[in-house]
């Protein structure tokens, strides 16, 4: 693999950078670069802006409304959007259920759902985890019983990110309770407006309403919303998780956060000098930067290999997930350490409204403690890092 970007790649980088600078709302850019809370409309408007440019689905093939870009251009696009302060594209549609529908769905499902994902018309959420089925996902109990041309769904999902805004949820449900755990699971697409769907908020330790419980009580789902074959949902779930774990690596966002860490460490002082000049702190920053650059190269190699082989992400995605989540956690920890006691929690609603009188210390400090708390979960979702190490041991090392 050539690790140098070609002139064409660099020209594309300049095009993306100029596009972001021209089209991203300054208020949204400021929120992202300062680590402040994004409103749902910030995410939707950016997706629609990308769609108007023809860039709504960077990793999709052209025949499904994507760009058809090479892995290198996908990487450059992600890097430049993150660097310029663009909101992340919601992964649940673009990176997760979209590829599943493309690969395993019917032509009618592709025609119905894919254009609305790319255009930012439908907001999706993921219905995998349950109170007794997290990393051990095959033990899920949410039941879907077929009755004529509908499934009737009953059960509970938990830790459902941004379900309060979602139009649709893709769910793993048990359709054959007598089969072995993985063999009796199906993949259903459920309209969140269906009677019997209830969303209950879970407030996390950073004070945000980001995750939810979702309850299904006699929810009728048309059989046409079954993806692929009944009782083969585990196969589709593994395919989806490979895409999710690659996405969790978050190389572009981590590069942006590394730059933010350096800015903070230049502003903070220790013994009269910028903190970034302190040998111990500078060494930790250098260490995480080296790890991030290595991760970026590994990510590119993996994406290129998938394209050449014509297959999706395999166990190698677990490597990206582990290292990417650890880097994100380290960056959040170093930023919080850099500002010391000024990272203590504040009245977040007042800060998000720009009422700086609600805080003490520098204006870049208030979001840091909450970000540190939020980043603790990245080593858990998508399959905990302990589970990922087991996958690597079995699949790649043959242990």
The structural domains of the chain, ordered by start, are 7-89 (1.10.540.10), 124-231 (2.40.110.10), 249-396 (1.20.140.10)
Strands 150-158 and 209-222: antiparallel
Q: Quick check: 327 pLDDT over 60?
A: yes
Query: What one-character-per-residue DSSP string does 270-318 give?
Result: ETTEEGGGSHHHHHHHHHHHHHHHHHHHHHHHHHHHHHHHT----THHH
Q: How confident is the model at residue 137 (pLDDT cuts 50, 70, 90)?
A: confident
Q: What is the pLDDT of residues 8-42, one digit of tens each?
A: 999 999 999 999 999 999 999 999 998 888 999 99
pLDDT tens digits for range 343-363? 876 555 555 555 555 556 788
Q: Token digits for 159?
A: 């830790």
Both tokens of 275, joined, read: 């903190």
- Positive or negative CA dihedral for 95, 100, 103, 105? negative
What's the rounded Cα separation, in Å, for the pair 214 and 105?
A: 24
Structure tokens at 335: 């930023």
DSSP 105: S
According to DSSP, residue 181 is labeled G
Residue 169 pLDDT > 80 = yes
Give which of 23, 153, 1, 10 is closest to 87, Cα–Cα: 23
Name the active-site residue from 78, 130, 244, 257. Answer: 244
Is 244 a catalytic site residue? yes
The predicted-structure confidence for 186-217, as pLDDT tens digits, reads as follows: 999 999 999 999 999 999 877 789 999 999 99
Average pLDDT score, the chain: 89
pLDDT at 146 over 70: yes
């Amino acid at each position: 693999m050539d690790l140098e970007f070609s002139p064409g790649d660099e020209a594309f980088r300049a095009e993306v950078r100029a596009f972001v600078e021209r089209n991203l709302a300054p208020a949204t850019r400021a929120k992202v670069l300062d680590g402040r809370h994004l409103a749902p409309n910030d995410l939707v408007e950016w997706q629609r802006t990308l769609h108007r440019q023809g860039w709504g689905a960077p990793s999709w093939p052209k025949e499904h409304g994507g760009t058809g870009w090479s892995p290198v251009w996908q990487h450059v696009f992600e890097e430049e959007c993150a660097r310029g302060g663009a909101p992340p594209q919601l992964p649940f549609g673009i990176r997760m259920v979209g590829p599943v529908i493309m690969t395993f769905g019917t032509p009618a499902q592709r025609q119905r759902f894919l254009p609305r994902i790319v255009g930012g018309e439908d907001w999706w959420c993921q219905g995998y985890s349950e109170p007794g089925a997290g990393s051990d996902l095959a033990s899920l109990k949410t039941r879907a019983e077929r009755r004529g041309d509908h499934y009737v769904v009953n059960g509970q999902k938990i830790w459902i990110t941004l379900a309060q805004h979602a139009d649709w949820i893709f769910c793993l449900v048990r359709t054959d309770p007598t089969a072995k755990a993985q063999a009796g699971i199906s993949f259903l697409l459920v309209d969140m407006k269906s009677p019997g769907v209830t969303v209950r908020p879970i407030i996390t330790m950073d004070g945000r309403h980001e995750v939810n419980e979702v309850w299904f009580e006699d929810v009728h789902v048309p059989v046409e919303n079954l993806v692929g074959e009944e009782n083969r949902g585990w196969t589709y779930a593994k395919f989806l998780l490979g895409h999710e774990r690659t996405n969790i690596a978050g190389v572009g966002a981590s590069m942006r956060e590394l730059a933010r860490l350096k800015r903070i460490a230049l502003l903070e002082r220790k013994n009269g000098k910028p903190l970034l000049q302190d040998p111990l702190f500078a060494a930790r920053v250098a260490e995480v930067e080296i790890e991030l650059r290595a991760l970026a190269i590994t990510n590119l190699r993996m994406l290129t290999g998938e394209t050449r082989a014509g297959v999706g992400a395999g166990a190698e995605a677990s490597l990206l997930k582990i290292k990417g989540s650890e880097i994100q956690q380290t960056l959040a920890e170093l930023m919080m350490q850099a500002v010391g006691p000024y990272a203590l929690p504040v009245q977040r609603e007042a800060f998000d409204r720009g009422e700086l009188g609600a805080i003490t210390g520098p204006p870049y400090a208030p979001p840091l403690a909450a970000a540190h708390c939020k980043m603790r979960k990245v080593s858990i979702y998508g399959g905990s890092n302990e589970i990922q190490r087991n996958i690597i041991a079995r699949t790649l090392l043959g242990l």
